[in-house]
Amino acid sequence: MKNNSSAFSLVEILVVISVFAVLGVLITRSVLLTLGGGQKSESLISVRDNLNYSVGVIERQLRNANSITDCGSATPSAILYTDQNGNPASFSCVNVKVPGTIGYIASGAAKLTDSSVNITNCSFECTQGVTSPSSVTIFLEAVDASASGIQNSDVTTSTQVLLRNY
């Protein structure tokens, strides 16, 4: 008597399940990496936008300032100036490199960066011009305060603001 069974053996079923499991793991990793890359891009864009806004405000105010009264002599993370109306004003980096806090850029007492951005390094450096106009070099480094691991990376910006001859 001949057995005409068309059923699958246990080994065949286990092989098919193993192949599908490996494919599932590979596809899941691929999707997660793609989503992580998108979140990292959004994080970088947010930090870059915050830094560009802050640098823009600082540039406009310093270009229109009547004078720079103190540029990083007491602390390199602050600059004191007299605005176009003759009022004393300042820019400073607050809580930079303080563990457990979020650093930010302040204009007087007001924040220029929002709480989603952590300023990790900041400096203002003045150069007194002899043959060229005086200038202030601004250096900022920041990260997304809520991102971690592979999604977190430093964003740096540096600019030089040429001042009016006082």
More confident position, 137 or 36: 137
Average pLDDT over every residue of 118-140 = 85
Instruction: Return the pLDDT at 8.
Output: 79
Cα–Cα distances in angstroms (integers) from residue 50 to residues 31, 46, 60, 117, in the given order: 29, 6, 16, 7
The pLDDT score that the predictor gives to residue 72 is 65
pLDDT over 90 at 77, yes or no: no
DSSP letter assigned to residue 47 = H
pTM: 0.73
Pairing of strands 117-127, 135-144: antiparallel
Binned at pLDDT 50, 70 and 90, residue 14 comes out as very high
Q: Average pLDDT of 83-112? A: 87
Find the mean pLDDT for residues 159-165.
Answer: 82
What integer pLDDT is reported at residue 2 of this predicted model?
A: 60
**CB of 102 within 8 A of CB of 125?**
no
